[in-house]
């Protein structure tokens, strides 16, 4: 077991960046991304589960969802599994933060900003040949002039595997956070370049010896889930991604629930919708009932 927790685990990410007591850490990270409403001085966490307007609508569960004192909304998603339509998913998720601003009374349609951050443990499709381009900033702009047309909807996609700066090359606060994020679980000491107050606090939160017995067990379960997921991904690529993924999902579900009815296994095997299979794989360790699997496949 390493000295520090892995921030790519669900437990590690939310402990460091998603805890009410650590809002200053999240603020520092968000400000390093230089969104339009910077500097962000205060944030308030919101419910991470957003329901559709009708029972049949799909719900969205954000990793972190918060707003600042001006009402600007920030969605932070940690994505461990390559997803064919992740860009579509980011846009879809942002619509929840837009639509919830509608008012039943007389309203002039003025909106607060919506800012999406995708922290990716894989390389985006269509971007793999750009080996040094790990940060993508996306805005609505006028096509001919390239001028920003609307600055209150912005997306940041961070391909962490492409971030390869050495300790001596870290110049900006964002550089330092990405280095922290990628290498935290391999470090035994705090690098000199990360000796600022915010980073020292983050290292303290991430240190294994500072976890209670219960939290340590929770982290170990989260780490096992993360490693199992990586095994599934690697095996899936070896066997042909879609078919291999479906077979490995069934194995993980059998391990999770003891035994999965053959009817559900058959639905998984016969599903040719890669988006649905990716959704199951991405959420498999959060799924609590087999009914949730059937709803995704329906």
Dist CA 212 CA 31 (whole Å): 31
Look at residue 5 and tell me if it is in a domain.
no
End-to-end Cα separation, the chain, in angstroms: 41
The answer to whether residues 64 and 195 belong to one domain is yes
For residue 154 the two structure tokens come to 């912005």
The answer to whether residues 28 and 80 belong to one domain is yes
Dist CA 110 CA 114 (whole Å): 12
The answer to whether residues 125 and 48 belong to one domain is yes
The CA-atom distances, in angstroms, between 167 and each of 7, 13, 33, 178, 179 are 19, 22, 19, 11, 8
Q: Which domain holds residue 278?
A: 215-297
Residues 78-115: pLDDT tens digits?
888 777 778 888 998 899 899 888 877 788 889 999 99
Look at residue 83 and tell me if it is in a domain.
yes
Look at residue 2 and tell me if it is in a domain.
no
Dist CA 19 CA 157 (whole Å): 22
**Looking at the predicted structure, is the pLDDT value of residue 229 above 80?**
no
Question: End of a domain among 181, 211, 241?
Answer: 211
Look at residue 1 and tell me if it is in a domain.
no
Look at residue 64 and tell me if it is in a domain.
yes
The answer to whether residues 262 and 232 belong to one domain is yes
The answer to whether residues 195 and 237 belong to one domain is no
**Preceding omega of 39 cis (within 30 degrees of 0):** yes
pLDDT interval class at 61 (50, 70, 90)? low
Residues 106-165: pLDDT tens digits?
888 899 999 999 999 888 877 777 888 999 999 999 999 999 999 999 999 999 999 999
Dist CA 7 CA 78 (whole Å): 10
The answer to whether residues 59 and 25 belong to one domain is yes
| 240-268: average pLDDT | 82
**Looking at the predicted structure, is the pLDDT value of residue 180 above 70?**
yes
**At 22, is the secondary structure helix, strand, or coil?**
helix
Question: End of a domain among 211, 226, 242?
Answer: 211
Look at residue 261 and tell me if it is in a domain.
yes
The answer to whether residues 87 and 176 belong to one domain is yes
> How much is the pLDDT for 55?
38
The answer to whether residues 219 and 157 belong to one domain is no
**Looking at the predicted structure, is the pLDDT value of residue 52 above 50?**
no
Q: Which residue has the higher pLDDT, 38 or 201?
A: 201
Among 288, 280, 161, smallest CA distance to 229 is for 280
Dist CA 298 CA 269 (whole Å): 14
The answer to whether residues 87 and 172 belong to one domain is yes
Domain count, the chain: 2
Among 97, 158, 99, 170, smallest CA distance to 133 is for 158
Look at residue 3 and tell me if it is in a domain.
no
For residue 286 the two structure tokens come to 């959060």
Question: End of a domain among 211, 227, 250?
Answer: 211
Look at residue 273 and tell me if it is in a domain.
yes
Dist CA 108 CA 28 (whole Å): 33
The answer to whether residues 219 and 72 belong to one domain is no
């Amino acid at each position: 077991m390493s000295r520090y927790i892995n921030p790519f685990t669900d437990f590690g990410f939310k402990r460091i960046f998603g805890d009410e007591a650590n809002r200053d850490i999240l603020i520092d990270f968000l400000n390093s991304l230089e969104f339009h409403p910077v500097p962000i001085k205060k944030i308030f966490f919101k419910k991470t589960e957003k329901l559709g307007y009708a029972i049949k609508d799909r719900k969205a569960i954000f990793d972190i969802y918060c707003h600042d004192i001006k009402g600007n909304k920030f969605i932070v998603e940690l994505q461990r599994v390559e997803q064919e339509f992740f860009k579509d998913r980011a846009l879809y998720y942002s619509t929840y933060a837009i639509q919830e601003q509608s008012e039943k009374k007389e309203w002039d349609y003025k909106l607060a900003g919506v800012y999406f951050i995708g922290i990716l443990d894989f390389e985006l499709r269509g971007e793999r040949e750009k080996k040094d381009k790990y940060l993508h900033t996306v805005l609505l702009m006028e096509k001919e002039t390239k001028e920003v047309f609307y600055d209150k909807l912005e997306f940041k996609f961070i391909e962490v595997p492409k971030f390869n700066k050495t300790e001596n090359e870290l110049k900006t606060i964002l550089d330092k956070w990405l280095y922290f994020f990628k290498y935290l679980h391999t470090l035994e000491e705090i690098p000199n370049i990360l000796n600022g107050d915010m980073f020292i606090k983050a290292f303290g939160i991430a240190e294994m010896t500072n976890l209670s017995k219960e939290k340590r067990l929770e982290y170990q379960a989260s780490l096992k889930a993360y490693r199992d997921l990586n095994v599934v991904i690697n095996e899936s690529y070896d066997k042909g991604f879609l078919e291999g993924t479906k077979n490995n999902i069934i194995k993980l579900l059998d391990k999770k629930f003891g035994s999965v009815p053959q009817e559900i296994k058959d639905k998984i095997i016969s599903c040719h919708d890669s988006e649905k299979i990716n959704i199951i794989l991405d959420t498999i360790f959060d799924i609590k009932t087999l009914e949730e699997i059937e709803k995704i496949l329906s």
